[in-house]
Structure 1
């Protein structure tokens, strides 16, 4: 069989249906729009995610016979209040701790050198002087790069104050109208699609609830892990507790990899502050228990309705979509992987079912 026949048969199988071809065009246009216009559409994407988070609360209130507009205003005002509280309390605290961490970096670096010397003295057969010097060089290089990134970020932030203000104004406005006019907007988008859209309806129904549940569940997981981490670090008297808690909370965005990466700053701060003693081990054990509870208790409860994906599929999705879209790609890696899985299962099956339905019945 020639390559031309193989390609022709594949096109006849998957793209001979008009709806399947339209769905492919919509997917390509959607992905291309996000890739090329992602930065421009960032306020809308952020507002869309927040609207997904808040829509569950609006639906819960409307099910209790609360008028839709009253539910929207109540949930929206609660959201604005929480954002203001975070901006006035959490952001200054994290900024102060970050500034303090930068000032303490030289002393922590010197403490790290002493710890390496102690390890070399205790275990000379495993840790040679050349290896210690190599580690010191790596730590020095990483510290220099971190300082440069912080300075660059600060200078860039000073130059984008106006953009940040516009961003903070647009996002709340978009969130309000996405909540208020949700039915009108979805109805308008539906009117642009053809009347015959069984395949698109099948894929949308499978993805709609799962994406909403994933976004809300991931936000709840970030808050719970961050808050529990903060109080755990505060209990042990670990410095920079708020900053480390934010790092640990955001680490749940990247499955498997995030937990391993977040362990490094927690272990480094604990080692520099407590030394390699019992208190250091207690902090690591508590952090390990927290990660175990998150992976084995919290995640199954929050994402029990999600489609099961193999860990290899999740890691590949994080690497691929994160490389394309950065933060948003990492955040939506699992829903996008689920979308691809739904398309793989629904596309040929839906076309085949419609083809069978068109066949005339026998005598």
Structure 2
């Protein structure tokens, strides 16, 4: 009992330190998650085609590939922005006029003596969208100065994550062995079994999530294209790949599709398109793809997923949302093992046998 209390105390202290230093540790947590995912690729690349590559070179190549893949996803936004900016300049005044024509009669029918006058707003927006680069550069820089902490935090991620990822990938095996050496020999068997099971569950999660992302990328691209959206391919692929970040990726894709549809169609067709494609996509993801390709693999109930996202997001913010499901999968493995231990314990066995031996009370 004393030993258990000591370990619980150590765990509580570690959790408290982690919670207090969460903003500082966040880039290293991101790098650690990426290192766990990319380390098997480093091992394969080291012995690729029978040629033994130096560890540092293999790590560098893998990190460059990962960065290029991430940039490729972000570059899907370039054709969207390049096409939508001039359309925004052309269509925004028309959309505002239509909004005023639709809302004012409705306000009159409701008995409200209010008139929606969007002329000033339209003039300001058109002037802003038509401004030269020199005109908006100064306000942008001043806003960056006002939000300096956010800008520094972003730069910290940009610099720290790649550097930490390189060292973690380079020394991953040595660091894992150092952690294993700290485990008491009497616990080594249970620890190894727990780590192997966790690794298996995380592998299933990653493979399932990748299948979900690819399936949704195809679905959104084809669905938006069937409605005639010109930017169906980049928006659909970006939305499908961005669902790796729960809710945020879906929401961003929805906003991009709605904006592109409004600017291209300038009618209610855009709203219908987004409602049908994204509504059906969310249903397919929630009730078909994620339960079958991810949930069944790791055994997480949908309510557990929502709770995990909220809890980790509260503690670690955006990074917490990223690691919520993998961390919950590992926690699920621990809970399974605790349940087995409890069912095999004297507390459960003796309580059950004692209750069974008493029998019914005499009448």
Q: Pick one of 1, 4, 8 that aligns with 1:24.
A: 8
Pick which of 94-103 and 339-348 moved more: 94-103
**8 A contact 2:22–2:315 mirrored in 1:** no
Q: TM-score when scaled to structure 1?
A: 0.64
Aligned partner of 1:3 in structure 2 is none
Provide, for residues 109-154 of structure 1, a one-character-per-residue CA deviation record: whole Å limited to 9, x for no partner: 5544444568x59xx9xxx637998x99xxx9xxxxxxxxx98995
Aligned partner of 1:330 in structure 2 is 321
Deviation at 1:40, TM superposition (A): 0.8
Aligned counterparts of 1:175 and 1:278: Cα–Cα separation in 2: 45
Q: Pick one of 277, 284, 301 that aligns with 1:310.
A: 301
Aligned partner of 1:155 in structure 2 is 144
Deviation at 1:186, TM superposition (A): 0.3
Higher relative contact order (Cα pairs below 8 Å, separated by 6+ residues): 1
Q: Does 1:129 align with 2:116?
A: no
The 1:330–1:77 alpha-carbon spacing in structure 2 relative to 1, beyond 3 Å, is closer
Aligned partner of 1:254 in structure 2 is 246
**8 A contact 1:117–1:132 mirrored in 2:** no
Aligned partner of 1:186 in structure 2 is 176
Aligned partner of 2:19 in structure 1 is 35
CA RMSD of aligned residues (A): 4.9
Give the count of matched residue pairs: 322
Q: Does 1:174 align with 2:129?
A: no
Q: Pick one of 48, 52, 62 that aligns with 2:36.
A: 52
Corresponding residue SS for 2:24:
coil
Aligned counterparts of 2:267 and 2:336: Cα–Cα separation in 1: 53
Provide, for residues 161-196 of structure 1, a one-character-per-residue CA deviation record: whole Å limited to 9, x for no partner: 565445323322222222222110101112223222
Unaligned runs of 5+ in 1: 1-15, 141-149, 357-363
Deviation at 1:41, TM superposition (A): 1.4
**8 A contact 2:208–2:293 mirrored in 1:** yes
The 1:271–1:332 alpha-carbon spacing in structure 2 relative to 1, beyond 3 Å, is same
The 1:162–1:289 alpha-carbon spacing in structure 2 relative to 1, beyond 3 Å, is closer
Aligned counterparts of 2:162 and 2:181: Cα–Cα separation in 1: 27
Provide, for residues 51-93 of structure 1, a one-character-per-residue CA deviation record: whole Å limited to 9, x for no partner: 2332343355568656473654442332244355567x44655
**8 A contact 2:30–2:161 mirrored in 1:** yes
Provide, for residues 241-263 of structure 1, a one-character-per-residue CA deviation record: whole Å limited to 9, x for no partner: 857864665355336x9757865
After the TM superposition, which residues 62-211 of structure 1 pair with which residues of structure 2 at under 5 Å, given as runs?
Answer: 67=52, 69=55, 71-83=58-70, 89-90=75-76, 108=95, 110-116=97-103, 120=106, 129=110, 155=144, 159=148, 164-197=154-187, 198-211=189-202
Q: TM-score when scaled to structure 2?
A: 0.64
